[in-house]
Amino acid sequence: MSIFPVVLCGGSGARLWPMSRGGQPKQFLKLIGNHSLLQTTLMRVKEIDEARGPIIVTNVDYRFQITDQLKRVNIDPSAIILEPVSRNTAAAIASAAHLAVSANPEALLLVLPSDHTIQNDAVFRDAVREATPLALDNRFVTFGVVPTFPNTGFGYVKKGSRIGNAGANVYDVHAFIEKPDRERAIELVDTGDYLWNSGMFLIRASVYLEELQKHEPEVAQYAEQAFKGSRSDHQFLHLDSLAFANCPHISVDYAILEKTDRASVIAVDDLHWSDIGSWSALRESIVHDEHGNVLIGDVMEEVVSNSYIRAEHRMVAAIGVSDLVIVETADAVLVTHVDRAQSVKTIVDRLNASGRQESVTHRLVTRPWGSYESIDQGDRFQVKRIVVSPGAQLSLQLHHHRAEHWIVVKGTALVTNGDKEFLLTENQSTYIPVGISHRLRNPGKVPLELIEVQSGSYLGEDDIVRLEDVYGRTINA
């Protein structure tokens, strides 16, 4: 018996803007502790009995962030499945199920979101152990969390009758309930018959595919075609684009869980779980001070209570306020009442509608070779701080509309500038004229840091003509 943890890593986390953005969603952020939500999930499943390397299902645009996060916590995945487009969880899990069955026809899938928190790992492992016999008996076992308060941000599961000798905490599923309003949530919790729907479950990979074929045959058909037409690239598995794009966009809850007669639920207590679906949910997951505040970064407060205040780049001062969320980043500040934290997505939708980039990128942008951060910009100029990881290199490229000056401030750079190649060390620089091919490499053992000054008539990122690239990105020479 093998358990394949399937970590779903394609969400955008819009309700945690301005920290979480389209180009760097919440699963990649260090919101609690010293690791990202994704890294914490991966380290947790590593300790499960019979667990194989995780199967990570993600958007193709996140592939380099995934590999960097894996490397930092020394996790070796079974595969990283790359979705060419988003088709929700039913199709994503189907691709992982096909992969698991091809490795072991009796494989179990432990399906987990990448952006949730669990503070009691031992309880989680015990719950997986309790669920395993049920999954081997072809049950669809979901993990329900015993609610501690009437939360309106979670879905609920209604417990049915207990299942034979499966354990005191194991039930048939009577019904799934959508996120309720406040009055309804109080009613559900007061009955004692409802659990929070954690979105985590355990099932045989083959049974998942059978249930998908039974209830959503069109998803099953195109997901299978996408898997059979996939291509491998080291640890990446690229699903067939055309077939996967034809998959209906539907969640596993609607596709299977609400229709199957095989659904069971394990009531898990003391898990300290949260889906971190909003800033108020994040606040509830962190220990408060004596005034009910969570203060992160350079924060000065006076007569403040029941608030979450986070300063990322500068000091934030708050006086005489309560029940607020204040989040400061380099290019945006969010201020909202805790009761309206679920509404942050409306701001993101407005940013998207207006074409503004603050919903997509931070000033700090990650790349497979490292990162760059915009420091200053104006008419016909832009200044960036570039960090290149040891052994990494940018693509060989040129620009039609801008020239660049590079000044090394730390480490050693191996520079290609036209037909010349040379080393630059700290306090040395080079100038790259418009239209000249160039590349930057870090041959050293420490990160390379430099200041780049761009000047020209157009400074957009789409003025990059790639001639060669070691990361498999599009060559547009």
In-domain check, residue 353:
no
Residue 166 has pLDDT above 70, yes or no: no
> What are 110-123's pLDDT values in tens digits?
999 999 999 999 99
pLDDT exceeds 60 at position 275? yes
pLDDT of residue 61: 87
CATH number of residue 184's parent domain: 3.90.550.10
Domain that holds residue 331: 279-344
- The answer to whether residue 473 sits within a structural domain is no
* Better pLDDT: 104 or 163: 104
Rounded distance between C-alpha atoms, residue 237 and residue 19, angstroms: 29
Residue 460's domain is classified under what CATH number?
2.60.120.10
* 312 plus 381 within the same structural domain: no
Structural domain tally of the chain?
Answer: 3
Angle at 246 between CA 214 and CA 176, to 5 degrees: 45
Specify the pLDDT at position 153: 83
Give the residue, 452 or 233, on which the prediction is more confident: 452
Kindly state whether residues 394 and 310 are assigned to the same domain: no
Residue 351: inside a domain: no
Domain end, chosen from 254, 274, 294, is at 274
Residue 164 has pLDDT above 80, yes or no: no
Q: What is the pLDDT of residues 30-40, one digit of tens each?
A: 999 899 999 99
Going 201 to 206 to 211 to 217, the CA torsion angle's sign is positive
Which of 258, 274, 290 is at the close of a domain? 274
- Kindly state whether residues 118 and 102 are assigned to the same domain: yes
- Domain closes at, from 274, 304, 321: 274
pLDDT of residue 477: 57
Q: Is residue 354 part of a domain?
A: no
Within 13 Å of residue 183, how many CA atoms lie on the same side as its CB?
Answer: 0
pLDDT at res. 28 = 94
220 and 283 share one domain: no
Answer for the pair 10, 86: CB distance below 8 angstroms, yes or no. yes
pLDDT digits (tens, 9 = 90+) for 385-426: 999 999 999 999 999 999 999 999 999 999 999 999 999 999
Residues 295 and 240 in one domain: no
